[in-house]
């Protein structure tokens, strides 16, 4: 992972790390109809936060920059918002280049903008379970499922054949018993098509009652700092990554 951060200069990393530009990339790979089925509806995008017309937005949405991870504002139906604070935060997001301290090169050349998307939740209004597909040259080998996010968060890791792996990743113990989605094979198919251009990438998706939504491309999971226990599985995750096939230094 550190090697990739330092040496891989494939321009597709920047395109797919850009939460705005990856929409076209996904349409090119899947076709417009299939892509539109899984892309979270984009309500608005702007480079000028002051231009956001808050009164015209739906009751629920998420605001985030296209060039970062972990930066967002969630608006629920019952929430009262402070427009000035939101605009201030958006301006701050736009002014900073994400990933510099951790040498995450792919973010460097993204043209920053603010995105407002539909908030994707389950039937109870909770944040949907997150399925993360670890793919190598277009083949999925592992899947991480994050459930009950922000409440009693659980993280489970399975092989692509849905065999449970009793390991600890990033301090979280893998929990068994996650029910495999009925259209899991379709999720695998999507992940493998979208990952073909990369020797490694994690494809993140959501599944709500059979409805699949794309989350993001993750080229640097935990920026390469995710500790896996037992350590044998660290090698297991790495052995499928053929660095000799890397499109480095381009």
pLDDT tens per residue across span 61-113? 999 999 999 999 999 999 999 999 999 999 999 999 999 999 999 999 999 99
Does 159 share its domain with 236? yes
Whether the CB-CB separation of 25 and 31 falls below 8 Å is answered with no
Does 249 share its domain with 191? yes
Strands (E), the chain: 42-46, 61-65, 73-75, 114-118, 130-136, 139-147, 154-159, 168-169, 172-173, 201-208, 211-218, 228-229
pLDDT for residue 87: 98
Structural domain contains residue 204: yes
Instruction: Quote the CA–CA distance of 177 and 37 in Å, as a whole number.
Output: 28
Does 115 share its domain with 127? no
Does 61 share its domain with 155? no
HSE-up of residue 25 (Cα within 13 Å, Cβ side): 20
Does 106 share its domain with 172? no
**Domain finish residue from 91, 119, 147:** 119
Does 246 share its domain with 133? yes
Instruction: Quote the CA–CA distance of 143 and 188 in Å, as a whole number.
Output: 9
pLDDT for residue 83: 97
Does 131 share its domain with 112? no
Does 49 share its domain with 169? no
The pLDDT of residue 249 is above 60: no
Structural domain contains residue 36: no
What's the burial of 185, exposed, middle or buried (CB within 10 Å: 0-12/13-18/19+)? exposed
SS3 labels along 58-120: CCCEEEEECCCCCCCEEECCCCCCCHHHHHHHHHHHHHCCCCCCCCCHHHCCCCCCEEEEECC
Please give the structure tokens belonging to residue 56. 């015209």
HSE-up of residue 130 (Cα within 13 Å, Cβ side): 18
Q: How many domains does the chain have?
A: 2
Q: How confident is the model at residue 248 (pLDDT cuts 50, 70, 90)?
A: low
- Of the candidate ranges 42-56, 78-92, 150-164, 198-212, the one whose mean pLDDT is the lowest: 150-164
Does 63 share its domain with 160? no
Give the angle 249-197-218 at the CA atoms, nearest 5°. Answer: 85
pLDDT for residue 135: 98
Does 244 share its domain with 194? yes
pLDDT for residue 147: 83
Beta strands 172-173 and 201-208 are unpaired
Chain-wide mean pLDDT for the chain?
A: 93
Does 205 share its domain with 137? yes
- Of the candidate ranges 68-72, 229-233, 240-244, the one whose mean pLDDT is the lowest: 240-244
Instruction: Quote the CA–CA distance of 199 and 214 in Å, as a whole number.
Output: 20
pLDDT for residue 14: 97
Structural domain span for residue 70 = 41-119
The pLDDT of residue 250 is above 70: no
Helix (H, G, I), strand (E, B) or coil at 154: strand
Helix (H, G, I), strand (E, B) or coil at 7: helix
HSE-up of residue 237 (Cα within 13 Å, Cβ side): 26
Q: How confident is the model at residue 131 (pLDDT cuts 50, 70, 90)?
A: very high
């Amino acid at each position: 992972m550190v090697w990739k951060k330092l040496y891989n200069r494939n321009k597709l990393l920047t395109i797919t790390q850009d939460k705005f530009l990856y929409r076209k990339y996904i349409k090119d790979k899947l076709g417009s109809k299939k892509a539109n089925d899984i892309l979270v509806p984009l309500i608005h995008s702007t480079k000028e936060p002051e231009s956001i017309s808050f009164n015209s937005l739906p009751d629920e949405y998420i605001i985030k920059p296209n060039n970062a991870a972990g930066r967002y504002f969630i608006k629920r139906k019952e929430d009262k918002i402070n427009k000035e604070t939101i605009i201030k935060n958006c301006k701050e997001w736009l002014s900073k280049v994400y990933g510099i301290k951790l040498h995450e090169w792919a973010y460097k050349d993204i043209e920053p903008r603010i995105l407002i998307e539909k908030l994707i939740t389950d039937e109870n209004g909770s944040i949907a379970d997150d399925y993360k597909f670890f793919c190598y040259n277009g083949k999925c080998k592992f899947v991480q499922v994050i459930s009950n996010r922000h409440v009693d968060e659980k993280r489970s890791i399975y092989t692509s054949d849905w065999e449970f792996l009793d390991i600890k990743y990033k301090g979280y113990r893998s929990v068994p018993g996650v029910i495999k989605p009925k259209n899991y094979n379709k999720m695998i198919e999507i992940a493998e098509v979208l990952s073909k251009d990369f020797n490694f990438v994690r494809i993140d998706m959501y599944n709500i009652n059979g409805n699949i939504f794309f989350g993001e491309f993750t080229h640097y999971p935990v920026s390469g700092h995710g500790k896996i226990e037992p350590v044998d599985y660290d090698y297991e995750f790495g052995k499928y990554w053929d660095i000799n096939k890397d499109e480095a230094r381009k």
